[in-house]
Amino acid sequence: MEKEKTEEQENTPVLKWKDIEIQHNKKSVPARETEIEHGGTKKRVIIRRMGWAEKNLFSEQYVEYQIIGETQRTIPRPFGMRIGALQKCIVEAPFETDIDSLNAEDPHMMEAIYLGIDKFNKFDGDLKKKSKQPSSGGKSETEN
């Protein structure tokens, strides 16, 4: 049985990404490029893959930890992460990546670019893993 698409999904363009390599911090890193329609003309967008440590530090910014009794609860903040991912991973685009500029762009195009970043960096899986991590009640394994 096929799931019905939401209006958001129907209006979000599917972008074709091409694997490339770019120089970032004097190192060659995996990246992807695509073309989007912007201001009536085709423009290039390049996104990059974050390194392992950078991705973990980035993901940590968008997770809140609460201790209730002896249980640690992890609360992901995926919407903040989406904005942060656009700002961190877009290397080249025909628009700025500050909040006001992102707000001024076509939301369906921003969604399509975010989906490319998410798939390339696998952020969604990170949030799901963090939110389902079992807690040891604040004790290390040797204390249990």
Residue 121 has a pLDDT of: 92
Could you list the pLDDT tens digit for every one of the 144 residues in the chain?
566 666 666 778 899 999 999 998 888 999 999 999 998 999 999 999 999 999 989 989 998 889 999 999 989 898 999 999 999 999 999 999 999 999 999 999 999 999 999 999 987 555 455 445 444 444 433 333
- Note the pTM of the prediction, 2 decimals: 0.76
Residue 117 has a pLDDT of: 95
Residue 12 has a pLDDT of: 86
Contact by Cβ (8 Å): 93, 45: yes
Residue 66 φ/ψ, nearest 5 degrees: -125, 140
Residue 108 has a pLDDT of: 93
Contact by Cβ (8 Å): 90, 46: yes
Greatest extent of the chain over all pairs of C-alpha atoms, in Å: 63
Bridge partner list, 72: 67
Amino acid identity, position 143: E
- Number of other residues whose CB lies within 10 A of the CB of residue 127: 17
Q: Any idea where the domains of the chain sit in the sequence?
A: 16-129
- Number of other residues whose CB lies within 10 A of the CB of residue 24: 16
Residue 139 has a pLDDT of: 43
